[in-house]
């Protein structure tokens, strides 16, 4: 093996390693976990498959759901009581604290969740 071949292989491995490293950094920064205080407040829920299917939802500081929890619970068929941020969205939790529905982040202040019956719920920051 010539020194030139060895240096080409080393350069290839170095380039591959750097690509993987910087790709991971880019992915991690695009999936930044929101601080819960950024999400607390008034939100608007809309069920796309139900005409006039809209209600308000409050995400409270203590990771509980406030006004509008009953409306969301009716749509998903389970009692929705809490929430927590995830890197790519907002999880809504049931009475046991486990995730019962996930709102995927579409852009700042806009999230979507799919229902089991192929319905769509949009969660959008109010105001």
CA distance 101 to 79: 11
Return the beta strands (E) in 1-127 as ranges.
41-47, 54-59, 82-86, 89-93, 99-107, 110-114, 120-125
CA count, 13 A, side-chain hemisphere, 108: 1
Architecture of domain 36-125: Beta Barrel (2.40)
Mean pLDDT of 24-43: 76
- Supply 6's token pair: 């060895």
Q: Which region among 80-89, 92-101, 118-127 has the lowest average model confidence (pLDDT)?
A: 118-127
Q: For the chain, which residues make up each domain, given as ranges?
A: 1-30, 36-125
Mean pLDDT of 16-43: 73
pLDDT digits (tens, 9 = 90+) for 43-89: 999 998 777 789 999 999 999 999 999 999 999 999 999 999 999 99
Provide the CA 92 distance to its chain's centre, in angstroms: 10
For 60-71, b/e burial (b = at least 16 CB within 10 A) is eeebebeebbeb
Residue 4 has pLDDT above 90, yes or no: no
pLDDT digits (tens, 9 = 90+) for 5-18: 557 676 676 666 66
Write the DSSP symbol of residue 65. B
Beta-carbon contacts of 63 under 8 Å, excluding residues fewer than 6 positions away, are 36, 82, 83, 84
């Amino acid at each position: 093996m010539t020194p030139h071949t060895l240096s080409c292989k080393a350069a290839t491995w170095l380039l591959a390693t750097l690509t993987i490293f910087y790709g991971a950094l880019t992915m991690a920064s695009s999936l930044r976990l929101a601080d819960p205080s950024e999400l607390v407040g008034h939100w608007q829920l809309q069920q796309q498959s139900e005409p006039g299917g809209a209600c308000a939802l409050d995400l409270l500081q203590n990771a509980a759901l406030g006004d509008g929890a009953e409306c969301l619970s009716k749509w998903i068929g389970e009692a929705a009581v809490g929430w927590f941020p995830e890197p790519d969205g907002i999880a809504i939790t049931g009475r046991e604290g486990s995730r019962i529905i996930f709102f995927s982040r579409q852009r700042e202040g806009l999230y979507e969740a799919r229902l089991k019956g192929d319905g769509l719920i949009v969660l959008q920051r109010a105001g």
